Amino acid sequence: MVDIYIVGLGVLNIDQITRETERAIRRSNEVLYVDTGVATRTHLESLCPRVTSLFETSYKEYGQRLNAYHHMAARVLDAALDHPPVTFAMHGHPIVGAYAPFLIRDMADLLALEVLVLPGISAMDCLFAELMVDPCVAGMQMYEATDLLLRRRPLQPDVHALIWQIGCVETTLHTMRVSKPVRFERLRSHLLRFYPPQHVISAAYSTPHPLMPSTVHRFALQDICDHAHLLHSGFTLFIPSAAERAIQDRELLHQIDSGEHLRRITR
Ligand SMILES: C[S@@+](CC[C@H](N)C(=O)[O-])C[C@H]1O[C@@H](n2cnc3c(N)ncnc32)[C@H](O)[C@@H]1O
């Protein structure tokens, strides 16, 4: 018996909620959610008798984002101990860029509560569709913006890159304030170690509202600081590959079209 469902609500308001997720919410005695979509609350109320938004009580201006996750996890576990099953519903995919589900899983283990995680449509899925990018062709490397800088992670210029949370770069605190150009100077310097200054990159925000278009700002890497005021916490940076890696394994290149080779590697 499941005590806690952890689900994703997708990105585009209520339109990307899966049937599987709706079934979990219908089975729940309470749904606790973190999502600011215009119709989210009304829709959840049509599926579950008790609906609790955790956004307002979790995030405080200049508060640690980590504390917000602690608060969410505590509220969900409390509800699950009192009136299981409950659903914890988050924006996008619940396991992508969110710490609360991991806290819930660890604490649930100690409390002998059963957890089931269901996938949701992530911002990444929306960006693949909007930018028409196939991650299987040249590959895809993904990093969280502040972690990228903290560890000075190397980037492979022949592989596309997604950089999450660029609007939150250089802080663990929550704020709704608009960024200044200086915020992106360290990120620009780091990226310039791997890409040419004129390389055109995209900052993308998939629309959360069915009546509004998504926003994609395209600019040369060297100009990223000039776009600081536009890049709020919902944006993800897409850096297309800037080079092609030459094929190294010529033997395999000949084998991939060969029936004889396929017979040799299959039963
Ligand atoms: C805390 S993470 C949550 C990700 C979310 N769980 C998901 O699966 O998409 C927040 C980051 O996800 C990305 N993100 C969230 N919503 C987005 C959107 N509508 N368009 C583009 N990127 C988005 C941004 O990089 C943002 O800083």
Q: CA 182 to CA 215: how far, in whole Å?
A: 23
Atom index in ligand 1 nearest the CA of residue 94 equals 6
Count Cβ atoms below 10 Å from residue 244 Cβ, excluding itself: 9
Whether residues 128 and 174 share a domain: the answer is: yes
How does pLDDT run across 91-141, given as a tens digit for each residue? 999 999 999 999 999 999 999 999 999 999 999 999 999 999 999 999 999
Mutate to test the pocket of ligand 1, among 7, 16, 209, 235 (most ligand atoms within 8 A of CB): 235
Ligand 1 close to Cβ of residue 183 (< 6 A): no
Ligand 1 close to Cβ of residue 119 (< 6 A): no
Structure-token match 């925000």, residue found: 205
Ligand 1 close to Cβ of residue 43 (< 6 A): no
155 belongs to a structural domain: yes
List the residue whose alpha carbon is closest to atom 19 of ligand 1: 206
Whether residues 136 and 108 share a domain: the answer is: no
User: How many angstroms separate the alpha carbon of residue 9 from the centre of ligand 1?
Assistant: 12
The strand order across the sheet containing 86-90 reads 51-53, 30-34, 86-90, 4-8, 115-117
In the chain, which ranges are continuous DSSP H helix?
A: 19-27, 40-45, 55-58, 65-82, 100-110, 123-131, 135-138, 145-150, 185-192, 250-255, 259-265
Whether residues 107 and 128 share a domain: the answer is: no
Query: What domain count does the chain have?
Result: 2
Q: What phi and psi, each to the nearest 5 degrees, are found at residue 220?
A: -70, 140
Q: CA 247 to CA 77: how far, in whole Å?
A: 51
User: How many angstroms separate the alpha carbon of residue 92 from the centre of ligand 1?
Assistant: 7
Whether residues 129 and 235 share a domain: the answer is: yes
Q: Which residues contact 97 (CB under 8 A, 6 or more apart)?
A: 144, 164, 165
Domain stop point among 101, 117, 133: 117
Residue 170: pLDDT over 90:
yes
258 belongs to a structural domain: no
Q: In this structure, is the dihedral angle defined by the CA atoms of residues 214, 217, 221 and 224, taken in order, positive or negative? A: negative
Q: What is the CATH number of the domain that holds 35?
A: 3.40.1010.10
Whether residues 138 and 156 share a domain: the answer is: yes
Ligand 1 close to Cβ of residue 174 (< 6 A): no
Whether residues 26 and 134 share a domain: the answer is: no
Whether residues 113 and 129 share a domain: the answer is: no
At residue 110, the pLDDT reads: 97
248 belongs to a structural domain: no
How does pLDDT run across 2-58, given as a tens digit for each residue? 999 999 999 998 999 999 999 999 999 999 999 988 899 999 999 999 999 999 888
Domain that holds residue 101: 4-117
Nearest to 120 by CA among 30, 235, 211, 35: 35
Whether residues 140 and 175 share a domain: the answer is: yes
At residue 164, the pLDDT reads: 98
Domain stop point among 93, 117, 141: 117
Q: CA 22 to CA 48: how far, in whole Å?
A: 9
User: How many angstroms separate the alpha carbon of residue 238 from the centre of ligand 1?
Assistant: 13
List the residue whose alpha carbon is closest to atom 21 of ligand 1: 205
Ligand 1 close to Cβ of residue 236 (< 6 A): yes
At residue 13, the pLDDT reads: 86
Mutate to test the pocket of ligand 1, among 91, 168, 174, 215 (most ligand atoms within 8 A of CB): 91
